[in-house]
Structure 1
Amino acid sequence: MTRVQLTDDAPLTTTVDALVVGAYQGADAPIAVDPDHAAVVAAAATVGATGKPGTITALPGTGLAAATRILVAGLGAAPGQDVGTLEAADRPDDTAPAGAPADDGAVLRAGLAERVRRAAGAASRAAVGSATVLSTLGAVDLTAAAEGHLLGGYVFTTYKQPAKPPVETVLLAGAGTDAGADATVGRAAITAQAVLMARDLVNTAPNDLYPAVFAERASAAAGTVRGLTVEVLDEHQLRDRGYGGISAVGSGSSRPPRLVRISWSPKDATRTVALVGKGITFDSGGLSIKPAAGMDAMTSDMSGAAAVVATVIAAAQLELPLGVVAYAALAENLPSGTAYRPGDVIRHYGGTTSHVLNTDAEGRLVLADALARAAEDAPDVVLETSTLTGAQIVALGKRTMGVMGSAALRDRVAELARGAGEAAWAMPLPEELREGLDSSLADLANVSNDRAGGMLVAGHYLREFMPPGAQWVHLDVAGPAFHDGGPHGYVIKGATGVPVRTLLAVLRDEAGSA
């Protein structure tokens, strides 16, 4: 993992492999964030720099700085800039409407922070092969710059070495070196480490990461942090204790299911949050088998479980004054002579029955067990996340998660997600869609016969396993959790680590209100 540390060295006179300088997008030319860097940005403009968000312009440091290379990172509209002066096609999508005062409102601050995060990530990707990089982006937003450089420096090397190694060290200049700044960088590093842990788990090939191995890796990681306790239920305990959903979904594989429970319970905690994650380590669809095209990406179907495990570990590292209990429901969904079938009726933990109409709607079956178990802890809030439906991608695209659940909490979680830099949109649960889950044979059918509103129907199914009045939210991250395109900002192909930053943002918010 790339390291970040603070420095008070002067950017232009420090000898490093690369210097990162920020530039805002002006109406006619890029504008240096720091006036001392105006000559650098002007030189970059002669070779095409515009200051557009997400752009990186490289030029040699000779005559401009002591660094071997200079990377000018575009940040989009400057605080206070009337974005109406920009061409419509050039306006950053996360700025305020034309003429809005840029110093007002969390939306504007979050928008700038995310542009800094993306610029830092893009700079770390552009600087591969460099031992030391000095970045001035921390002077704009220290947390975002630290997170962006760490996330952008990520490379998954288990099976293949990169052509050039990632950046070893990023020196953040211009934000001070006092204890407050150091603590900010420390918190950002813990957040980034959690995201990268989730990415590592998701990117591991399914032949190397099946339920038992996931449980072992989660237990080992939790064991390195003081104050965490771990419980793992194997296939026999799951069956004997009535976890019918997890047991059924895992019945077709020779590699049996697991349920992992990791808890952080500080003495001063007055509130508790339960985290529940879907952990299908590979999803073939079972007997309702998926098409072959794209099935390889179903190694990512345990993104929710990876996220909640990484989040509870980070909560302990941050020593949040809040109880956090994470449940990872783990199974491999394969067809075989022992697999569960369309037409089966299964009994979940707690007694609710489901009529299985489609074995490829398996995630909600394992989550139902985990949600029912989590409710026994009587948490104040339940946050569940899963790569649950293709309908999420149809409705919101590949980068925006759908947020459903208790209305006020749902809206707050969506806002916190956007503030953390993870795109999210609050979605309703229209009551008429619940009717599609009625079954004459069981309490619920696991799918509706009507394809309309599939993401929302799945939300209704999960709601059935929450006690009346419970405060809960479902995050469908089917698209955002795994990126199958080219790199952008701090994201490369493969696992993204979404929604770890959202979950941590909600935990911090809950801890602040405790």
Structure 2
Amino acid sequence: MTALSVSTSSAASLRADALVVGVAKGAKGIVVAPGAEAVIEAFEGKLAEVLTTLGATGGEGEAVKVSSPAGLKAPLVLAVGLGDAEQGFSEEALRRAAGVAARTLAGTKKVALALPAESAEDAGAIALGALLGAYSYATYKSNGAGKEPVGELVVLTSRKGSKDAKAAVERATAVGEEMNRARDLINMAPNDLNPKAFATIAQAAGKEHGLKVEVLDEKALAKGGFGGILGVGVGSTNPPRLVKVAYTHPKAKATLAFVGKGITYDSGGISLKPAGHNETMKCDMAGAAAVFATVVAAKRLGLAVNITGWLALAENMPSGSATRPGDVLRMYGGKTVEVLNTDAEGRLVLADAIVRAGEENPDVIVDVATLTGAMVLALGTRIFGVMSNSDELRDTLHATAQEAGEQSWPMPLPVELRKGMTESTIADLANMGERMGGGLVAGLFLKEFVAEGIDWAHLDIAGPAFHEGAPYGYTPKGGTASAVRTLLRFAERTAAGDKA
């Protein structure tokens, strides 16, 4: 595991294997960012000129290496691009640059980051980006072989405000480690991560961090009437689970319920996905991974808010016992649903969990799910959609995501799209409605299961949850831990009494 720390040492005097500085695009060429003054001095004021000769432009995602001159303890300097200097250095730009540095220097024992940490928030952004960029997953490589991550990351800051910077880096450590825990779960092979295995992992984390964990197995689910979760999981030899992970704080004045879709593998069931659409469906539990990681991170940070995470876990498989199109499920709470497409299974497990969460009267329910391909078509692969029964909550979560460095977009819940789901001739609802606006239809379906008087929001993370392209910034190939930062920042704001 990569170690993370903060230091007020000079960039010139700190012993490290590599030293990272930031460069940006200026009006007359590249500009070396603040934090690298000692490095500029060691290069006799010619660092920008040297880097330009080597092809540096300061563009985002760029990384240029140069050997260190006398006067620096680190033998290598890595310049990472921050973008346009005139736009300033946002926290997200710092996160991404630090992530590029950590990826570029994979296998290096000790890396010092002399990026522009002009505030505690900057230091925290650099630390988080570096820790996320250092992530690697080599569990299934022969003898554990793979590209080793950076061994130690040191964020350099000034002495002024160093106490606040240290606290920010400590927060980044907790957030980054839990996001990487979520990434591990998403990347794990589905033959190893089934519902029971996920529940066992949650129980172990609960014991480690002092969280209350309750697991409902298939017998308890049947006794309780959880027809949605059972209906999705009945076709698999790996039975479903509903896991409750609860964190409470003695000074909490609000309670949040986070509900995560946890389909550990989604074949589509009897409505089988075609070839080319199921190879990455181990990631269909990314919502549950995000919720799990958020609750653990909240406990590690000691947030003054109560949070209950609900992990709705099932494996959606075709078999002689699987739910068929045309079957009717009696959901938890009594509503009936005609299943028209078994590949619209996420909304079924979430509906049961949302009803159960609502029984505890939380102030807010937020569900997180890789729910619809329609949302990917609407927003692409880097933005998640936000829907809610409260415009205020929807807008708050959108603003919170932006603040946390995640891309989201507020989406409507048009009442006219509800009609298609309510036209079942034999059940209260159908699990499918109009084809156009499918992501919104799914949100409307979930809304049907929210208890009256409870503010609820739905985050459809189908696009950004699993990255299939080349790594960029601090985002690796594979699981990303999308929505963790948004949920956690929302919890922090709630703890502070600031939800607006």
Bin for the TM-score computed over the shorter chain: over 0.9
Amino acid in structure 1 at the alignment position of 2:358: A
Retained in 2: the 8 A contact 1:24–1:77?
yes
Structure-to-structure mapping, 1:372-411, within 5 angstroms: 372-405=355-388, 406-411=390-395
- Contact 1:206 1:281 (C-alpha < 8 Å) held by counterparts: yes
Tell me which of 303, 309, 319 is aligned to 1:320. 303
Q: Encode CA deviations 1:324-377: one digit per residue, 9 max, x unaligned.
A: 000000000000000011001101111111110000000000000000000001
Kept in 2, the 8 Å contact 1:142–1:175? The answer is no
1:238 correspondence with 2:245:
no
CA displacement, residues 479-502 of structure 1 (integer Å, 9 cap, x when unaligned): 100000001001111000111111
Greater CA deviation, 315-324 or 56-65? 56-65
| Structure 1: unaligned runs, 5 residues or longer | 82-94, 96-101, 103-110
Residue in 2 that maps onto 1:134? 112
Partner of 2:175: 191
Displacement of 1:200 in angstroms is: 0.6
TM-score norm. by structure 1 comes to 0.92
Separation (CA, whole Å) in 2 of partners of 1:353 and 1:118: 47
What are the equivalent positions in structure 2 for 1:217-366 lying under 5 Å apart? 217-226=201-210, 228-366=211-349
Identity over the aligned pairs, expressed in percent? 48
Alignment match, 2:199: 215
2:324 is paired with a residue whose SS is coil
- Give the aligned partner of residue 112 of structure 1: 90
RMSD: 1.5
**Which residue does the alignment assign to 1:4?**
4
Contact 1:346 1:355 (8 Å CA) reproduced = yes
Give the length in aligned residue pairs: 483
Aligned position for 2:135: 154
Contact 2:138 2:146 in 1 (8 A): no
Question: For 1:256 and 1:175, how far apart are their aligned partners in 2?
Answer: 54
Report if the CA contact (8 A) 2:136-2:147 is conserved: no
Alignment of 1:408-447 (within 5 A): 408-438=392-422, 439-447=424-432
TM-superposed CA distance for 1:510, in Å, is: 0.7
Measure, in 1, the Cα distance between the counterparts of 2:321 and 2:28.
67
- Tell me, yes or no, if structure 1 residue 124 matches structure 2 residue 93: no
Q: Compute the TM-score of the two structures, normalised by the length of structure 2.
A: 0.94
Residue 460 of structure 2 is aligned to residue 476 of structure 1: yes
- The structural deviation recorded for 1:391 is 0.5
Q: Deviations over 1:187-244 (max 9, x none)?
A: 1111111111110111100000000000000110121113x10100000000110100
Q: What amino acid sits opposite 2:53 in the alignment?
A: T
Q: Which secondary structure does the structure 2 equivalent of 1:76 belong to?
A: strand
Q: Which amino acid aligns with 2:377?
A: V
**Contact 1:138–1:175 under 8 Å retained in 2:** no
SS at match of 1:269: coil
Distance across 1 between alignment mates of 2:146 and 2:200: 31
Q: Tell me whether 432-441 or 365-374 shows the greater mean CA deviation.
A: 432-441
Shift of 1:162: 4.9
Name 2:448's counterpart in structure 1: 464
Equivalents in 1 of 2:46, 2:362: separation in Å?
Answer: 56
Conservation of the 8 A alpha-carbon contact between 1:281 and 1:302: yes
Counterpart contact for 1:54–1:115, Cα < 8 Å: no
Deviations, residues 285-305 of structure 1 (Å, cap 9, x unaligned): 000000121312000000000
For residue 137 of structure 1, report the CA deviation from its aligned partner: 2.0
